[in-house]
Structure 1
């Protein structure tokens, strides 16, 4: 028996788990992936790494800015660029008038999650296959790979709403209530396909820009020189992300390599980088739930159940990583109020991290 099980080791799940753990609750975090971070994803490949999820942080609120400042002090984050170029079919490539610093992690964006995961009890590579109630009226969480079960007094679903719905729907309206299930099913996401590609070390024709956002483009949404984030990179590495409409067309493809090649060919043509479509290597990743298209308007979505159950994530309240952090705090407060009402740490608790 544990006090709280948190499903999902992204920003919101880790923030929630830290708050509850530091207040004194026993907390277990479970995630189906091999690594931490969710969309704060970094892939190691060919003696280098690439951020194929969130590409940078663009803090706006005071609390998130405080976290970014701290991560800079700990040498986890640094300013990458203040200029993300824009590309439209009519105007071509142009620099924006409003410059804002974008922050990246030279060790990879997943380094943020590793920082937030300190001292937590986390089970990785553990897919949850079922959620039920025990005879003693606790949550029972069944894990696929270990064939084990966790029991908890409270449950936090820090995963995309459609994934949470698949696990929770079998409980039915009698347990969760009609409104909760309808609200959860109302959340929708845009997909995205990310291409990571590496080029010869002696390439002399790298562009002047570090990142380009493509506005209303049918194929691409973003492209960045990912290797420019690294202090030492063995070769030029680019990350190209598709538009939502293009991803939707190819999302179910069994082999995404041709899709990735098509994206590189298109980028090479419109950005006038003819070598871009002939990389030394290429990997493609599909994000089925990349960006919330219809988010939940509040910080959390809670079920009116006898047992505490809260959903949180970047789809609650919007604003991606920053929204995910605020949602994690909201989830911890809601769970705490429904358990022992302990004293939660200050929202700047991460300043106490080593």
Structure 2
């Protein structure tokens, strides 16, 4: 029996968990993946790594700024670049050598991978990885019973007085819709159904070491390019420039939502990745379509397209349950952090009304 079970170890779920944990509640975080962070994701490849989710952090709000400052002090983050570029491929003169339009933006990255940010937030928490929640039901003991995907050694159930569902709204619906006949208000479920997400494909491409010399001769020597009005690409970054220990060029490309929508049910994503690389070669560097190695990841719920106009979604019927995430109040990292804080405040109000650390919780992680 826990005081609070939190489904999802993304930034919102971890922030909420830290608040409640530091206030003395017994908290468990249940995560279906093998690591924390959600879309703050890093993939290990060969002897290095690549960030195939969140590209970098930038100061887009008070909470993110506080997080950046603390992680800079701990040498977890460093400045990646102070200039990002934009390429409008809809213009008639687009093509290799097209003009890149610079913007002054300070971008912060973790050389160890962006999941390092989430690992800091996970400090001291009880996190059950590789555990998918299959169902949750209210019990006569005034607690939720969560049924987990069975494993050989781990428990298949847990009990909690309150549940925080900190995953994308469509995934939350899969767990919560069966509760419609058990007292969960229809207006609560309707609010979840109103949230919409855009998908994205991330292609990770590794190139021979000798290509690094070609990159050093680029003018301008860009690290991050956003594409406007392109049918295939939304962004490309020279991911290997974030690392301190690699001389192998690695690019990460992210698609547009429309392009990713064509591959929502595809079992083989390599053809999509090849199209993305071919487009990047057409627009930027001709040899980008001949990688030594390629992986493609599908983010089905990459960016909230239609969010809820509040920091969290809550009900006490039949028992306390709260939904939170970056789809509450906006679609930025700031929204995820704020949503996690607000969800913790609401859960605390419904339980024992203890003293929460608030924004100062960074100091204890």
TM class by shorter-chain length?
A: over 0.9
Q: How many residues align?
A: 351
Residue 148 of structure 1: aligned partner: 156
The alignment yields a C-alpha RMSD, in angstroms, of 1.2
Report what 1:171 is aligned to: 179
Q: Is the aligned partner of 1:302 residue 2:308?
A: no
Q: Contact conserved, 2:201 with 2:254, CA < 8 A, in 1?
A: yes
Contact 1:19 / 1:344 at 8 angstroms: preserved in 2? yes
Partner deviation per Cα, 1:219-248 (whole Å, 9 max, x = no partner): 110000000001121401000000000000
Post-superposition shift, 1:173?
5.3
CA drift at 1:180: 0.5
1:285 correspondence with 2:297: yes
SS in 2 for 1:176: coil
Q: Deviations over 1:256-303 (max 9, x none)?
A: 0111111101111111x1111111111110000000000111111112
How has the CA–CA distance of structure 1 residues 182 and 39 changed in structure 2, closer, same or farther, with 3 Å as cutoff?
same
Q: Which residue of the other structure, out of 320, 328, 337, is the alignment partner of 1:316?
A: 328
Structure 2 Cα separation of the partners of residues 47 and 153 of structure 1: 44
Written as runs of structure 1 = structure 2, the 5 A alignment for 1:1-354 is 1-89=1-89, 90=91, 92-97=98-103, 99-146=104-151, 148-172=156-180, 174-203=182-211, 204-206=213-215, 207=218, 208-271=221-284, 273-353=285-365
CA separation in 2, counterparts of 1:84 and 1:176? 46
Residue range with higher mean Cα deviation, 296-305 or 240-249:
296-305
Answer whether contact 2:199 2:257 (CA < 8 A) is retained.
yes
How far residue 306 of structure 1 moved from its aligned partner, in angstroms, is 4.3
Structure 2: gaps spanning 5 or more residues: none
Contact 2:341 2:358 in 1 (8 A): no
| Runs (5+) with no aligned partner, structure 1 | none
SS at match of 2:102: coil
- The 8 Å contact of residues 307 and 331 in structure 2, kept in 1 or not, is answered as no
Q: Are the equivalent residues in 2 in contact too, given 1:85–1:93 (CA < 8 A)?
A: no
Q: Would you say the 8 A contact 1:197–1:239 is kept in 2?
A: yes
Q: Distance in 2 between matches of 1:73 and 1:178?
A: 46
- TM-score, normalised via structure 2 length: 0.94
Is 1:194–1:241's contact at 8 Å kept on the other side of the alignment?
A: yes
Asked whether the equivalents of residues 47 and 234 of structure 1 are also in contact (C-alpha less than 8 Å), the reply is no
Tell me the TM-score normalised to structure 1 length: 0.96
